[in-house]
Amino acid sequence: MKISVIGTGYVGLVTGTCLAETGNEVLCIDIDKDKVKQMQKGEVPIYEPHLDVLFERNIKANRLKFSNSLEEGLMHGDIIFLALPTPEDEDGSADLSYVLGAAADIGKLIKDYKVIVDKSTVPVGTADRVRKTIAKETKVEFDVVSNPEFLREGFAVDDFLKPERIVIGSSSERATELMKKLYKPFVRSGNPILIMDEKSAELTKYAANSFLATKITFMNEIANFCEKVGADVDKVRVGIGTDSRIGKRFLFPGIGYGGSCFPKDVKALFKSGTEVGYHFNILDSVIKVNSLQKTILIPRIDAYFKGNLKDKTIAIWGLAFKPETDDIREAPALYIIEELLCRGAKVTAYDPEAMTNVKRKIGNKISFSSNMYEALNNADALVICTEWSIFRTPDFGKIKDKLKNNAIFDGRNLYDLEEIKEEGFYYSSIGR
Ligand code: UDX
């Protein structure tokens, strides 16, 4: 099939590349000329495991191409994916200007039947708005379909190629059949393609992300309570996770959820509720608890240094909002760094992938190290913000040699309590 993908951000790029992998002819469109040139040379503009291999293979096979021209995109694809950003507006709602702007342009350029697919995470009712925006400009027949994505950063290629489910919101049989044909190769395992109305599909995405964010936040509160009463959240986690109604996943407490999706989507769903006169009490709490959780280590670090962090050097391991990504959007590490700097501390940081992005965002306010041990030179304490595998089994002897105080504040519960005690560290983790 011929596919066009408008927008080569994270979702668009993964979608385009993986659809080319099953033999479709894919044209990806982006307004950023430098980015298009870079992709035409075969360079992947984001870090995502395995994407580079698929990218190169499909470019070589002539199935994956790039262009700046929306007109070319409209000529090429029978199915046009909109994978445009929906950033958070000042009031927390999703800003639809990119999506609706593209819809208006499509209306002006469309010459024959197309299926327009909303792939971006968009509020309930957006498919209708996209449909109306296009229809204002043209008499040509077209359909609008909602097809939310459930990709996790770091696992996006695998998630796309082997999805647990595909959700398609469509009220047109013609469009539904085309979408089913497109996705058939990805659900050979028998996983379902769920067909529903557009609004339910749009809400499915927000409900899924908000549910998962709530699950994590609930565990963060249980962890905080564990500390007060002397229980161990790891034991409680396994204790409840073995109940299949609860499930083992997304029960890991830490220093709050971050990233490009959960924070934005929870706020956007909350805002959508307000707009129709519904107050989401749960989401209101989730937002508040998560914001507190991000800096939960700060009072502990402060107390350890008896309220005097001035000129103390704090080493940070992990800057990305989670491992296997260079994404620092809403990363707890950034909030922790800000609080430390406010208190007069110096920060040296190491992250396997995300240092360039942090440098770009906060410049030389902190110093960066070329490896995890170098970050400990002259440091008074270590704070762990991201659970990269490399941090899981460190050389504790080396850490002790370098740190001035043998203190570790672990926001991701990486170490065994007994082992770390034997090593002689002051160790503070979450809910244990
Ligand atoms: C998420 C959804 O999982 C995905 O389906 C959606 O399409 C986009 O948003 P992503 O943001 O890539 O994906 O990361 P994910 O692995 O889901 O983690 C989100 C956040 O939750 C991270 O900050 C992570 O550290 C945190 N988290 C996750 C926990 O704190 N505890 C857990 O048990 C799991």
3-state secondary structure string, 263-287? HHHHHHHHHHHHHCCCCCHHHHHHH
pLDDT in tens, 21-38: 999 999 999 999 999 999
Q: Which atom of ligand 1 is nearest to the CA of 208?
A: 5
CA of 322 to the centre of ligand 1 (A): 8
Mean pLDDT of the chain: 97
Q: Which atom of ligand 1 is nearest to the CA of 156?
A: 12
Q: What is the pLDDT of residue 207?
A: 98
The domain boundary residue, chosen from 293, 325, 347: 293
Residues 37 and 92: their CA atoms lie apart, in Å, by 34
Classify 69 as helix, strand or coil: coil
Q: Residue 49 has which token pair?
A: 């495991």
- Residue type at position 228: K
The residue assigned the tokens 């909303």 is 118
Give strand pairing partners of 346: 313
Q: Are residues 364 and 383 both part of a single domain?
A: yes
Q: Is the pLDDT of residue 13 over 90?
A: yes
Q: Are residues 361 and 401 both part of a single domain?
A: yes
Q: Residue 92 has which token pair?
A: 């927390």
CA of 213 to the centre of ligand 1 (A): 8
Mean pLDDT of 359-369: 96
424: left (phi over 0), alpha (psi -120 to 50) or beta: left
Asked if 108 and 99 touch (Cβ cutoff 8 Å), the reply is no
Ligand 1 probe mutation, 261, 267, 291, 414, most atoms within 8 A of CB: 261
Q: Are residues 184 and 239 both part of a single domain?
A: no
Domain range for 282 is 205-293
Q: What is the pLDDT of residue 94?
A: 86
Asked if 268 and 92 touch (Cβ cutoff 8 Å), the reply is yes
The domain boundary residue, chosen from 196, 229, 263: 196
Asked if 86 and 98 touch (Cβ cutoff 8 Å), the reply is yes
Q: What is the pLDDT of residue 332?
A: 98
Q: Is the pLDDT of residue 329 over 90?
A: yes
With CA atoms as reference, report the closest residue to 12 among 92, 121, 162: 121
Q: Are residues 279 and 343 both part of a single domain?
A: no
Instruction: Name the pLDDT band for 91 (thresholds 50, 70, 90).
Output: confident
Instruction: Name the pLDDT band for 93 (thresholds 50, 70, 90).
Output: confident
pLDDT in tens, 53-66: 999 999 999 999 99
Q: What is the pLDDT of residue 314?
A: 98
Residues 120 and 26: their CA atoms lie apart, in Å, by 18
ipTM of the complex model: 0.95
Give the total number of structural domains in the chain.
3
CA of 394 to the centre of ligand 1 (A): 25
Kindly state the DSSP code that residue 116 receives in the 8-state scheme: E
Q: What is the pLDDT of residue 92?
A: 82
Mean pLDDT of 289-297: 98
Instruction: Name the pLDDT band for 89 (thresholds 50, 70, 90).
Output: confident
Residues 417 and 253: their CA atoms lie apart, in Å, by 16
Nearest CA to ligand 1 atom 34: 250
Q: Is the pLDDT of residue 138 over 90?
A: yes
pLDDT in tens, 374-429: 999 999 999 999 999 999 999 999 999 999 999 999 999 999 999 999 999 999 99
Q: How many CB atoms lie within 10 A of CB 238?
A: 12
Q: Are residues 86 and 132 both part of a single domain?
A: yes
Q: Are residues 16 and 154 both part of a single domain?
A: yes
Q: What is the pLDDT of residue 119?
A: 96
The CATH code of the domain that includes 167 is: 3.40.50.720
pLDDT in tens, 392-404: 999 999 999 999 9
Q: Is the pLDDT of residue 302 over 90?
A: yes
Tell me the percentage of the chain whose pLDDT exceeds 90: 95
Q: What is the pLDDT of residue 394?
A: 98
The domain boundary residue, chosen from 196, 219, 239: 196
Residues 6+ apart with CB under 8 A from 169: 127, 145, 146, 147, 195, 196, 197, 198, 199, 200, 201, 202
Residues 373 and 221: their CA atoms lie apart, in Å, by 32
Q: Residue 408 has which token pair?
A: 């570790």
Q: Are residues 275 and 319 both part of a single domain?
A: no
Residue 214 phi/psi, 5-degree rounding, is: -70, -40
Q: What is the pLDDT of residue 270?
A: 97
Q: What is the pLDDT of residue 47?
A: 85
Q: Are residues 277 and 311 both part of a single domain?
A: no
